[in-house]
Chains A and B, each alone.
Chain A
């Protein structure tokens, strides 16, 4: 009897993980494709890549990890790798395997940092950081953007030998914040529009 219930619990967990992975993958992949079409058209027109000022996929990283927990990480990684590697035929080069991982890990690093200085979240009671309140989520967005810009540009400079200016780090930082904020606003307006239509 106990083994049946433990098997049922195990299957429930697998089903839950599958749902989280599917939603995360679909959301992140969709945002990445929208964002990539922006950046590629601006490259083709010889303009400054507007896409990196508005990095939409950052919203998927923030929302999925904050709400679904660290189990969303594999699907996020897969979605962000598949886009540049398969759809756009190795858009960034092979170092993206590491830079994408570093970018995604900026969110757990932020949560771990906040937890280490006393904030509580991902728990059912006495949450100090309540992600249902967007102001709390903004703290995560800003710190994760700082971590991401530092992690990725440090990797590109120290390991890959790329010439990275402070302007690039600043652009990554702002791009992450603007991208995540725009997606949140867009989702809010979609929700309002959907309810009005209903």
Chain B
């Protein structure tokens, strides 16, 4: 690779390092779908069934995606006070 191109790649790497620290790395389509569903919902806290209905994704996809979004600290899960087996989803 010539010097000029490698220098341009270095600039892109710089922008990537900013991107990582700002945590603006793009979400996968499923992650976006679930996140937007939570954000668009009129309720402050949604259970899993609400998100399945709103997002149109399968229950298992929603479970997997929620786990990833929790790791990214985009949402957090809280235990329902009415039903201890149920978790509610809230935006971070």
Asked if A63 CB lies within 8 Å of chain B CBs, one says: yes
Q: Are A188 and B4 in contact (CB under 8 A)?
A: no
**Which residue of chain B lies nearest to A195 when distances are taken between CB atoms in the complex?**
B26
Asked if B19 CB lies within 8 Å of chain A CBs, one says: yes
Q: Are A131 and B26 in contact (CB under 8 A)?
A: no
Asked if A185 CB lies within 8 Å of chain B CBs, one says: yes
Asked if B15 CB lies within 8 Å of chain A CBs, one says: yes
Contacts of B25 in A (CB 8 A): 192
Secondary structure dominating the interface of A: helix
Asked if B13 CB lies within 8 Å of chain A CBs, one says: yes
Q: How many residues of A contact B (CB 8 A)?
A: 22
Which residues of A125-164 have CB atoms within 8 Å of chain B's CB atoms? 131-134, 137
Q: How large is the interface on B (under 10, 10 to 19, 20 to 34, 35 or more residues)?
A: 20 to 34
Q: Are A133 and B4 in contact (CB under 8 A)?
A: no
Asked if B60 CB lies within 8 Å of chain A CBs, one says: no
Q: A139 vs B8: C-alpha distance in the bound complex, in angstroms? A: 21
Asked if A115 CB lies within 8 Å of chain B CBs, one says: no
Contacts of A38 in B (CB 8 A): none
Against A, the Cβ 8 Å flags (1 = close, 0 = not) of B64-76 are: 0000000000000
Least Cβ–Cβ distance between B3 and chain A, in angstroms: 6
Contacts of A12 in B (CB 8 A): 2
Against B, the Cβ 8 Å flags (1 = close, 0 = not) of A53-85 are: 000000000010001100000000000000000
Question: Do A131 and B10 form a contact, CB below 8 Å, given A187-B15, A188-B15, A196-B26?
Answer: yes
Q: Which of A16, A187, A188 has the most CB of B within 10 A?
A: A188
Q: A184 vs B7: C-alpha distance in the bound complex, in angstroms? A: 16
Question: Do A184 and B18 form a contact, CB below 8 Å, given A67-B10, A68-B7?
Answer: yes
Q: A185 vs B88: C-alpha distance in the bound complex, in angstroms? A: 34
A residues in contact (CB < 8 Å) with B: 12, 16, 19-20, 23, 63, 67-68, 131-134, 137, 184-185, 187-189, 191-192, 195-196
B residues in contact (CB < 8 Å) with A: 2-4, 7-8, 10-19, 21-22, 24-26
